[in-house]
Amino acid sequence: MSFSNAFETHVLTYVFTTGSVSRPTAWYVGLFTSDPTDTGSGATELSGNNYSRVAATFSVSNDLATNTGALEFAQASSSWGTVSHIGIFTASSSGTLIAHSALSASKAIGSGDVLRIPAGDLDITAT
């Protein structure tokens, strides 16, 4: 995963200045049909057809954060298109994009489909 420009600025402010920054206390996973890029504006997040972000929790070991529980999106009420990218946000809607990545394989989501990410399958590495 790549960290967004906004989150990189947040980290640098926290580490290298005495400026006040607030720590996110909740994380939500969102889906995209193209790359949102580091600016968070490169793509439009899915919307409608019973789509909403899902809350996530993570554990951290060394330089790796991993989702601790399965992430299950609601059943699509109509086609969501082909999901190719994922993003982690600070809120269930709006919020700040923290990190983003291409999926290892794109997935077409049709009416009645449910996208699931098993526990331990969403990894974020700090390098």
What does the pLDDT read at residue 97?
94
Domain boundaries, the chain: 2-125
Report the C-alpha dihedral over residues 41, 44, 48, 54, rounded to 10 degrees.
-60
Output the pTM of the full model: 0.91
CB distance 42 to 33 below 8 Å = no
Query: What pLDDT is recorded for position 23?
Result: 86
| Cα separation, 60 vs 63, whole angstroms | 7
pLDDT given at position 74: 97
Q: pLDDT at position 46, please?
A: 95
- Give average pLDDT by consecutive 10-residue segment, the chain, 127 residues: 89 89 92 91 89 97 95 97 96 93 95 97 88
| Burial grade of 118 (CB within 10 A; 0-12, 13-18, 19 or more) | exposed
